[in-house]
Amino acid sequence: MVHSTIPDHIVVFGRPGSGKSSLAERLGTDFGYHLVRTGEMLREAIRRNDFLGKRVECHLAKGDLVPDGLIFELLEINLKSPGSNRLLFDGFPRTMGQVPLLEQFENRLHFKIDCYLEIDVSREEAVARMTGRRICPKCGATYHLIARPPKVAETCDLDGTHLEKRPDDTTEVVQFRQQVYDEHAVPILKYYQEKCPELCRKVNGNQPFDAVYTEARAAIGG
């Protein structure tokens, strides 16, 4: 009898610009993973504007990182009975402080992460991708100077409007986000590589998305 070796509980890592979110979505669709996304949970909590949401908003308004304890509360609400589902964590753990929180979840809710998947993209490539993104302020069409360039430089194909960078794509913000990843995520990856090298997988993210996805599928045995 053949047993599926596809992991049931995955954590995906990848710097901003790595294509991590797109990859997570496609793995979710193809293999039935429920995506656990703390970024989305934070935005939802703010929209609900309940007690938790107000606390989240308060930290974000001050420009602070949302404290790990608050992230834990959010996850607890969102993860009712994860033991029965395939889970894919996208954006958690984000700091070393959240690593023991994940371990607490595993113990309390009786599941085990069986794959830590890293999309390995160089910082230079990630910055080039992020600063190359353009959007049409009139119709919302999106372009990319390398991957999907407009026919005429900096001009929308559909309505001729001059293209703009997205507000969070300025070089300064992009470099800052890369620095945050280097400071917080790289130590987490090192930690797991020492603790459980047999569960760590790395795919080359410095290639077109479809190739990255094919490699990621193979890495999880799918």
Q: Which of 139, 147, 186, 196 binds Zn ion (CB under 5 A)?
A: 139
Which one is catalytic: 26, 37, 129, 133?
Answer: 133
Helix 68-78 and helix 99-109, axial crossing angle in degrees, nearest 10: 30
The crossing angle, in degrees rounded to 10, of helices 123-131 and 171-195 is 140
| 165 has catalytic annotation | no
Q: Is 158 in the site for Zn ion (CB under 5 A)?
A: yes
Given the rule CB under 5 A, which of 57-65, 89-97, 101-109, 148-156 is the region that contacts Zn ion?
A: 148-156
CA dist 14 and 122 (Å) reads 10
Classify the C-alpha dihedral 163-164-165-168 as positive or negative. negative
Per the document, the length of the chain is 222
48 as an active site residue: the answer is no
Q: Which is nearer to Zn ion, 58 or 158 (CB)?
A: 158
Q: Please report whether residue 55 would count as binding Zn ion according to CB under 5 A.
A: no
The yes or no reply on residue 156 touching Zn ion (CB under 5 A) is yes
**Is the dihedral angle over the CA atoms 91, 95, 96, 101 positive or is it negative?**
negative
92: nearest Cα among 108, 103, 83, 82: 103
Among 138, 165, 184, 202, binds Zn ion (CB under 5 A): 138
Cα 180 from chain centroid? 14
From the list 46-54, 119-127, 133-141, 169-177, the region that binds Zn ion by CB under 5 A is: 133-141
Q: Is 26 tagged catalytic? A: no
168 binds Zn ion per the rule CB under 5 A: no
Q: Which residues are tagged catalytic?
A: 20, 94, 133, 166, 177
Q: Which parts of this chain interact with Zn ion (CB under 5 A)?
A: 136, 138-139, 141, 156, 158-159, 161
